[in-house]
Structure 1
Amino acid sequence: MDLLELRDISKTYGSLKALRDVNLTVRKGEWLAIMGPSGSGKTTMMNIIGCMDKPSTGDVILDGVNIAKESSKNLTTTRRDKIGLIFQQFHLVKYLSALENVMVAQYYHSMPDEKEALEALDRVGLADRARHLPSQLSGGEQQRVCIARALINYPMLILADEPTGNLDEANESMVLEIFKTLHREGSTLVVVTHDPEVAEDAQRTVVLEHGRVARIIDNEEAASAKKEGVL
């Protein structure tokens, strides 16, 4: 069952065509990676999928609704209720504790629930750091707070932009293990990355070039072929 479908999506900024006739589907429960060089359209695609921007032409069907035709107000509601966003730069409120940063997301969705927020932090291994400010946390810990914040409202789609871009190898592995657990539990993940090793953990990798889908790689088939010596 498809959760997300992009139909002939194009995005133009003045004379710049950031996306050109992109067609893509994401199945419910799938882990999809998006790769491509700088300027290939990765961020533009993420912003459109994440209801932070609208395409110039085409349709974006999320959970049966064409969000390309929705008003800005409705896009904000959809993003709040259906999408969990994880950013490379964290975007944590510096004067709030880890717990309070997670509870802020609850506040905009429904009602803050400290017990539920603590459970979300425990899920990413940070229950003992709940009262710490972002400045008292490592980069890896801050990213895990971001993941807890993204999960707190039980989104149907988790959208991550370079989630390991600012992390060392140990913290990257920790974040990827969380993603693997989420995937096993049935979450739908779309991860924008420049790192081939991060992309390999996904089921499929979409490679963008000059705003177009250059190719789609079935990572499971590619891994099997590599193991058998075909690649």
Structure 2
Amino acid sequence: MNILEVNNVSKIYGSLHALSDINMTVGEGKWVSIMGPSGSGKTTLMNIIGCMDKPSLGSVILDGQDITQSSLSELTAIRRDKIGLIFQQFHLVSYLTALENVMVAQYYHSMVDEKEAMQALERVGLAARAKHLPRQLSGGEQQRVCIARALINYPRLILADEPTGNLDEANEQLVMDLLHQLHQEGSTIIVVTHSPEVARHAESTVVLEHGKVARIVNNKG
């Protein structure tokens, strides 16, 4: 079963075609990378898959629902309920502790459960740092808080935008190890990256060039 189907998607800004006739599918439990240089359209595609934007043409089916037919408020609800987002820039609330940053995601989804939020931090190895503010955490620790926050509502799809882009080699390995663990547990993962090393961790890689799919690489073949 496919959890995501992108069908003939284009995104057009005036005379600029940021995306042109994109087709891709992601099966449930699969790990797919989207790779390309700056300006290739990968961020635009991520924003559409992540319900943060809508295509100019084509359709996107997420978990059986055509999200291109949804209003902006409906897209917000779909993103909240079905997608766990991991950002390169972390986007943690500066005046909240690591634990509270995870609990914020619970608050907007359903109800706050401190015990469950602490378990999410334990899962990423940060139980001892639960009461620390973001400025008291390393970049790798902040990214792991982001992962805990992304997982707290049991999303159907984990969407990671350059999840290791601001990390050193050791912390990059920690984050990739966590993604491998999640994949082994059955999570569906899409990682948007410019790094061939990061992309190779996935089962397949969709390579974008100039807003088009240049090729799809089977990394495990």
Q: Same fold (TM over 0.5)?
A: yes
* TM tier relative to shorter chain: over 0.9
In 2, the alpha carbon distance for the partners of 1:15 and 1:124 equals 45
Identity over aligned pairs, percent: 73
| SS of structure 2 residue aligned to 1:53 | coil
| Equivalent residue number for residue 48 of structure 1 | 48
In 1, the alpha carbon distance for the partners of 2:15 and 2:161 equals 26
| Structure 1 stretches lacking a partner, 5+ long | 222-231
| Equivalent residue number for residue 80 of structure 2 | 80
- 1:1-231 → structure 2 map (5 Å cutoff): 1-221=1-221
In 1, the alpha carbon distance for the partners of 2:112 and 2:60 equals 31
Please report how far the alpha carbon of residue 47 of structure 1 lies from its aligned counterpart in structure 2 after TM superposition. 0.1
| SS of structure 1 residue aligned to 2:88 | coil
| SS of structure 2 residue aligned to 1:48 | helix
Please report how far the alpha carbon of residue 14 of structure 1 lies from its aligned counterpart in structure 2 after TM superposition. 1.8
In 1, the alpha carbon distance for the partners of 2:147 and 2:124 equals 8
Please report how far the alpha carbon of residue 37 of structure 1 lies from its aligned counterpart in structure 2 after TM superposition. 0.9
In 2, the alpha carbon distance for the partners of 1:175 and 1:148 equals 11
| SS of structure 2 residue aligned to 1:111 | coil
| SS of structure 2 residue aligned to 1:90 | coil
| Structure 2 stretches lacking a partner, 5+ long | none
| Equivalent residue number for residue 225 of structure 1 | none
- What per-residue deviation string (whole Å, max 9, x for no partner) do you get for residues 193-227 of structure 1? 11111111100000000100000000001xxxxxx
In 1, the alpha carbon distance for the partners of 2:15 and 2:131 equals 48
- What per-residue deviation string (whole Å, max 9, x for no partner) do you get for residues 148-187 of structure 1? 0000000000000000000000000000000000000000
In 2, the alpha carbon distance for the partners of 1:38 and 1:174 equals 25
The number of equivalent residue pairs is 221
In 2, the alpha carbon distance for the partners of 1:147 and 1:29 equals 17
Please report how far the alpha carbon of residue 13 of structure 1 lies from its aligned counterpart in structure 2 after TM superposition. 1.3
| SS of structure 1 residue aligned to 2:220 | helix
In 1, the alpha carbon distance for the partners of 2:105 and 2:194 equals 28
Question: Aligned Cα RMSD in Å?
Answer: 0.4
In 2, the alpha carbon distance for the partners of 1:64 and 1:94 equals 36
In 1, the alpha carbon distance for the partners of 2:37 and 2:165 equals 14
| SS of structure 2 residue aligned to 1:220 | coil
TM-score, normalising length from structure 1? 0.95
